Each structure stands twice: as C-alpha cells, then as structure tokens.
C-alpha cells in the first residue's frame, strides 16, 4: 500500500463540475493498493499517518501530528501511485491490486482513519476527480507499508 501525504491549508475534490468534498487545515492522503497488500498494511499506515509529526509547534518545529492539531483528512484513491515507470515510457500497473481487493482495502483504510476523532472526507473510488489543494509548506511525504 502506498500513500502520498500532503500537509494542506485546504483541499477539495470536484466530480463532474460539482464539489464532492472539502477540508481545511489537515492532510490530503492519496492511497494506492497493490496486489500483496493486506489489512495489516492499511492499519500500519493509518497509525503512522495519525501520529506523524509534520505540523509546526509554537517554536516552528515539526513536532505535532494531525491528531494533535485536530486537523482534517481528505482521502483520495489513486491507482497511479502503483505505476512502475522503471522500464520504457509507459507505466506498468502489473503490481496494482485487482479491483475488488483495491476497493476493499481502500474502504478499510478509510474506516480505520474514521476511527480517529478527526473530520475525515473522501474522494469517490474510480471516479475522474479534480483535486485542488493549497500545500502548506510545501510539506509532502511518501509512505508505504
């Protein structure tokens, strides 16, 4: 399971020209599911994301987590995170999870994040989405389990 995490001032998902979901200060989390992934991968990533100290404290040090600052989280499925660009110029998606497994693990990931005390929003699985964000910093991290 791969995630791209961006600390944002705000972020939103628009589908077919209509606002689907939006957050203010918090994290935009893109999620890709691979063939070998299991629920334990989602659980470990969620734990890490909720505790990752990437928000500034009163001394401008990255010392606070999204939980500490009571930030919001927007989770967006992103199949292309699983693309392998090592050979040639066309990404290979051979390591991507089959659709049923990808949906199941993505939804499980979302369920795990929603168990936090935070406001959690999502994109729509398999939809063509316009994702807008104001990256705070910019602060961006790649996590995989």
CATH number of residue 98's parent domain? 3.50.80.10
Q: What percent of the chain has pLDDT over 70?
A: 100
Dist. CA 100–CA 17, nearest whole Å:
27
- What's the whole-model pTM score? 0.95
Q: Contact at 8 Å (CB) between 56 and 62?
A: yes
pLDDT digits (tens, 9 = 90+) for 40-73: 999 999 999 999 999 999 999 999 999 999 999 9
Residue numbers annotated as active site: 78-80
The tens digit of pLDDT for each residue in 101-122 reads 999 999 999 999 999 989 999 9
At 145 the pLDDT is 85
Ranges of H-type helices in 19-64: 39-51
CA separation for the pair 28, 26 (Å, rounded):
7
The domain in which residue 38 lies consists of 2-144
Nearest CA among 144, 145, 134 for reference residue 27: 134
Phi, psi of 136 (to 5 degrees): -90, 105
Domains held by the chain: number: 1
């Amino acid at each position: 399971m791969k995630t791209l995490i961006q600390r944002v001032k705000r972020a939103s998902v628009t589908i077919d020209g209509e606002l689907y979901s939006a957050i203010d200060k918090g994290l935009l989390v893109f999620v890709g599911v691979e063939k070998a992934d299991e629920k334990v991968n989602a659980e470990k990533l969620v734990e890490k994301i909720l505790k990752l100290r990437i928000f500034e404290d009163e001394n401008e040090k990255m010392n606070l987590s999204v939980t500490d600052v009571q930030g919001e989280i927007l989770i967006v499925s992103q199949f292309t995170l699983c693309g392998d660009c090592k050979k040639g110029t066309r990404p290979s998606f051979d390591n991507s999870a089959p659709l049923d497994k990808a949906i199941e693990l993505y939804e499980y990931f979302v369920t795990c994040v929603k168990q936090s005390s935070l406001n959690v929003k999502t994109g729509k699985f398999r939809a063509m989405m316009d994702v807008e964000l104001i990256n705070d910093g910019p602060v961006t991290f790649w996590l995989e389990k």
